[in-house]
Amino acid sequence: MNQLFKNISAVLLTGCLVSFLGCEKFLDEKTSKKLSVPTTLMDFQALLDDPLGINYSSPVSGGVSADDYYLTDTKWNDLAFQERRMYTWEKDNLFESGFNDWINVYNAIYVYNTALLGTDKIPRTTANAVEWDNIKGQALYCRGTSYLEGVIIWGLAYDDATAEIDLGMPLRLNTDFNEHSERASIRQTYELIIQDLKASVSLLPIISLSKFRPSKPAAYGLLARAYLSMRDYENAGKYADSCLSLRNDILDYNTISFTGTYPFNIDNNTEIIYFKGMKTLSIISGTMPIVLPKNFESYDLSDLRKQFFFKKNPDNTYRFRGDYGGDDGPFSGIATNEMFLIKAECLARSGKVSACMDVLNSLLIKRWNNAKVYVPYSVDNAAEALNVVLKERRKELIMRELRWMDIKRLNKEGANIILTRTLNNKIYELLPNDLKYALPIPEDVIGLSGMEQNRR
């Protein structure tokens, strides 16, 4: 883990960060000398410098539900009840009570709101302007991230025709546990995400102190991802380009040499703009998930990703080992390779075929064994260009927690991606645009809050 954060002392909040579910009120007084209410800019920065609570808070449910991997009958039978049900897209009971993706998302949002409200109470002066802006920018960026990750899991795919009525996320902008929980629309949710991220752009530095803190290029990158999820390809391309104008490093896989378990690590990976990782579940941890044969076979023998992304199991299947966080866990943050792919896709969709191929080839040549001849992609029309880009996006961003978003948005455009699982001689299917693409909110959350549940 990045050295900057190994020695940070946490600033603890009065009360428990258990989202907005059960706390009736804050404690009236400190219960321990170790507990303190954050009041200074240093305090609020310390709240945000919490790798376990902030940088490792990405929900994993989308990755569990997607088609980057499969399980054997034996492995599936060994899972917890809720994980087994999530794997087969059941109607309900996909999350454990008390500690789950939803709780993690809103615990983090509570911290961001604490930092935002607290910073606003401190006058911005010439002396503290840089620090003040940076802290507020970080909190806005991180809140936008959490809402985007949440709506991708608990909301249907963005559709401009129905976004006003489709259910989104409860939008918490304060720290009042007693506020009534009501779900905003998908449109309102994305509007807040875009608003937070655009506001963060003007506040964040171009270069952050650490990859564990967001920066201006990270904000541009997350805007590109958000607009891609909305299928607003003009803006997605615009912000991917803005990101790459500030950070466009591509790691040449020919320069990687490793003897350990993982080929990548946070500190040495120049593609990482902002590090964020997922909370792990046993279902997609370690040797549990098996790479689908069709995914493994899609890589050419001269493609170094085949060597670096996968490791053979004793039974001749393969597991994924290409996390950009290395032994720090699954990566869900912002990196330049994703931006190259967003830019290429948006160029293809706008009919700029030659420019699209130039962007794509500039990425892929860095993945090719330089002892072999790389033959650049060349296509005749925009439709072919888009197909090539989407195929390469699938390969480059495997196990990156982006596949669930991609399936949802692409099925809205007629991709007809059907997910299948086979367990104990039974076939499970998830059809395009099924209501199950919006996962159910944990039942304990619904019971305590009275919010409307997703239709399944």
Asked whether the beta carbons of 207 and 215 are under 8 A apart, the reply is yes
CA 399 to CA 29: how far, in whole Å? 45
Residue 24 counted as domain residue: no
Asked whether the beta carbons of 308 and 368 are under 8 A apart, the reply is no
- Tell me what pLDDT residue 178 has: 87
- Tell me what pLDDT residue 23 has: 40
**Residue 292 CB contacts under 8 Å (≥ 6 apart), including other chains:** 67, 68, 69, 70
- Tell me what pLDDT residue 328 has: 67
**Residue 130 CB contacts under 8 Å (≥ 6 apart), including other chains:** none
Domain around 128: 3-19+35-77+86-449
Q: What is the CATH number of the domain that holds 213?
A: 1.25.40.390
Kindly write down the DSSP assignment for every residue of 389-430, as one continuous string.
HHHHHHHHTTTSS-HHHHHHHHHTTT----EEEEETTEEEEE
Name which of 38, 149, 46 is nearest 104 in CA terms: 149
Residue 311 counted as domain residue: yes
Strands 419-423 and 426-430, bridge-based pairing: antiparallel
Asked whether the beta carbons of 379 and 300 are under 8 A apart, the reply is no
Residue written as token pair 């410098």: 49
Q: Which residues of 378-394 are buried (b: 16+ CB within 10 A; e: fewer)?
A: ebeebeebbebbbebbb
Residue written as token pair 């170094």: 304
- Tell me what pLDDT residue 268 has: 86
Model pTM? 0.93
**Mean pLDDT in consecutive groups of 10 residues from the start of the chain, 456 residues:** 39 37 36 65 97 92 97 96 97 94 96 98 98 99 98 99 98 93 98 99 98 98 99 99 98 90 91 92 88 97 97 96 84 98 99 99 98 98 99 97 98 98 98 98 96 95
Q: How many domains does one find in the chain?
A: 1
- Tell me what pLDDT residue 259 has: 79
Tokens of 415: 């991709």
- Tell me what pLDDT residue 8 has: 37
- Tell me what pLDDT residue 4 has: 39
**Residue 124 CB contacts under 8 Å (≥ 6 apart), including other chains:** 132, 133
Type of residue numbered 21: L
Beta bridge partners of 213: none
Name which of 116, 102, 112, 139 is nearest 20 in CA terms: 102
Tokens of 85: 């049900």
Name which of 111, 114, 113, 119 is nearest 136 in CA terms: 119
Residue 314 counted as domain residue: yes
Asked whether the beta carbons of 228 and 406 are under 8 A apart, the reply is no
Question: Can you point out the beta strands (E) in 132-261?
Answer: 167-170, 183-185
Tokens of 59: 């929900």
Name which of 84, 15, 9 is nearest 49 in CA terms: 9
Asked whether the beta carbons of 221 and 243 are under 8 A apart, the reply is yes
- Tell me what pLDDT residue 99 has: 87
Residue 155 counted as domain residue: yes
Residue 240 counted as domain residue: yes
Residue written as token pair 């500690």: 99
- Tell me what pLDDT residue 151 has: 99
CA 101 to CA 185: how far, in whole Å? 20
- Tell me what pLDDT residue 321 has: 94
Tokens of 181: 């929980």
Beta bridge partners of 185: 167
